[in-house]
Structure 1
Amino acid sequence: MPGKVLERGEVRPYRPPVKPGCEDEEERRQSIEQAMREGYQEGLRRGTAEAHEKLQAERRAGVEQIARALEEIATLRRNVLESLRRETVDLALTAAARLVRARIDQGDAVIQRVVSETLEKIGAGTVCEVRLHPADIELMRSEDLLAKLAGIEVVADDGIARGGVLIETAEEEVDARLETALLVLRESLLEES
């Protein structure tokens, strides 16, 4: 009853319920012990199962997190390697361009080789016009190499860097400029990997 104060004599110690038919004190005690063991075992089984489920869920979550992290690392690695590859190609081509330009500036007869090789590839008889940097025309004139271009119109073009040549035929325009060659080489190198 709520609100009732019990007297000392009315308070009895708790005794678990006894199975029906257990009259004997020893049987009663054994029954209590058996119930306690069974309760303990059931609690232990449930607790172990819950802990196992929780650990499995945490393990799965951890494995998934590690898998995502590894995928991110692999993606980052691919991106870094691709970036390094592009930068390496660009650096190598920049160095090559500087070396060629330095040789041209030092008076190397690059233009003669470029013009000769390009004319050999396309056939000099089909050429209508050859466009060169003005300084390269002067170099070819001083070396008396313009005679090789007899019958072909030679045009001075400040838009063409030294060492480069644009050749027009009736069917096509052949671009033998250093910048174009380096661009084609860059694309080829980047496609290979």
Structure 2
Amino acid sequence: MRFPINQDVAGERERELDEYYREQRQILKAKAEEEARKILDQAKREAEELRKKAEEEIRRLREKAVREGREEGYQVALREAQEEAEKLREEARSVLRQAEEARKQTIRDMEAEIIKLALAIAERVIHQQVRVAEDTVLAVAREAISKVVDSETLIIYANPEDAALLQENLAELTDKQRIYVIGDEGISRGGCRIESDNGDVIATVEAQMEEIKKVLLGRESS
């Protein structure tokens, strides 16, 4: 089972991130839309140039046919001009389609950057909180233990720097189960993993990051 490190802590972190996330999202999205607008403007200019070129080609071929003084030549020249004009118009449409796709891709790329930025900020906030409040692991462990049911024995794995604090405060964690604490350098400070008779409870910083990631991805898809 996976649970956020602590519901109160998670809520506070999400509120701290939300305002910054929204601000950065607006800034980056505005940049993406500006870049996309430039792409479309350039495409429209190119399309207009192609249209003018097509009209000029029609005019030139018509004049050529008139100079030659032959109706047949005029009709041939007209067909050639129309074909050339249609070709140029299709090129113009293609330019606009490519520009629109480039605009959408630019915005998609920016959205991905926004999520990466928000996750990086979240990770810094979490680690900073752990450094400032060294007893964070106690709140985390209590929350995780509250999720365990029907288990007489618990084994808590925590970072060695947190394991000593947990060992010293076992009585504060619970009076319902026997608890053993084991240091595990693979677990970041501030989090823990609990083994019980009914499975594991994951309450690590990494699990918290996954929760935040789900929130951000869910927000993007809404």
Short-chain TM bin: 0.5 to 0.7
Q: Which has the higher helix share?
A: 2
Other structure's SS at 1:152 match: strand
CA shift in 2, pair 1:51/1:127, >3 Å: farther
- Once superposed, which parts of structure 1, at least 4 consecutive aligned residues long, lie more than 6 Å away? none
Which of the numbers 140, 145, 149 marks the counterpart of 1:119? 145
Q: Distance in 2 between matches of 1:68 and 1:171?
A: 61
Larger radius of gyration: 1
CA shift in 2, pair 1:70/1:106, >3 Å: same
Q: Distance in 2 between matches of 1:112 and 1:175?
A: 14
After TM superposition, give the deviation of residue 131 of structure 1 in Å: 0.8
User: Contact (CA 8 Å) 2:141, 2:192: kept in 1 or not?
Assistant: yes
**Greater RCO structure (CA 8 Å; 6+ sep):** 2
AA partner of residue 46 (structure 1): E
CA shift in 2, pair 1:121/1:45, >3 Å: farther
Aligned to 1:19: none
CA shift in 2, pair 1:55/1:157, >3 Å: same
Q: Distance in 2 between matches of 1:84 and 1:78?
A: 10
User: Contact (CA 8 Å) 1:130, 1:154: kept in 2 or not?
Assistant: yes
Q: Distance in 1 between matches of 2:77 and 2:159?
A: 82
Which of the numbers 154, 158, 177 marks the counterpart of 1:132? 158
Which of the numbers 64, 77, 84 marks the counterpart of 2:103? 77
Structure 2 runs not aligned, ≥5 long: 1-65
After TM superposition, give the deviation of residue 138 of structure 1 in Å: 2.8
Aligned to 2:196: 169
After TM superposition, give the deviation of residue 96 of structure 1 in Å: 1.3
Structure 1 runs not aligned, ≥5 long: 1-39
CA shift in 2, pair 1:119/1:45, >3 Å: farther
Which of the numbers 167, 180, 185 marks the counterpart of 2:207? 180
What is the TM-score with the length of structure 1 in the denominator? 0.64
Other structure's SS at 1:99 match: helix
Q: Percent identity?
A: 26
Residue-by-residue CA offset, 1:92-119 (whole Å, 9 max, x unaligned): 1111111121121122532222222222
Aligned to 1:30: none
Aligned to 1:18: none
User: Contact (CA 8 Å) 2:154, 2:195: kept in 1 or not?
Assistant: yes
User: Contact (CA 8 Å) 1:86, 1:190: kept in 2 or not?
Assistant: no
User: Contact (CA 8 Å) 1:133, 1:158: kept in 2 or not?
Assistant: yes
After TM superposition, give the deviation of residue 145 of structure 1 in Å: 4.9
Aligned to 1:148: 173
How do 1:9-158 and structure 2 match up within 5 A? 43-123=69-149, 125=151, 128-141=154-167, 144-149=169-174, 150-158=177-185
Q: Distance in 2 between matches of 1:177 and 1:121?
A: 14
AA partner of residue 200 (structure 2): E
CA shift in 2, pair 1:96/1:140, >3 Å: same
Corresponding pairs, count: 152
Q: Distance in 1 between matches of 2:143 and 2:133?
A: 19
Q: Distance in 1 between matches of 2:194 and 2:181?
A: 9
What is the TM-score with the length of structure 2 in the denominator? 0.57
RMSD across aligned positions (CA): 2.8
Q: Distance in 1 between matches of 2:79 and 2:105?
A: 39
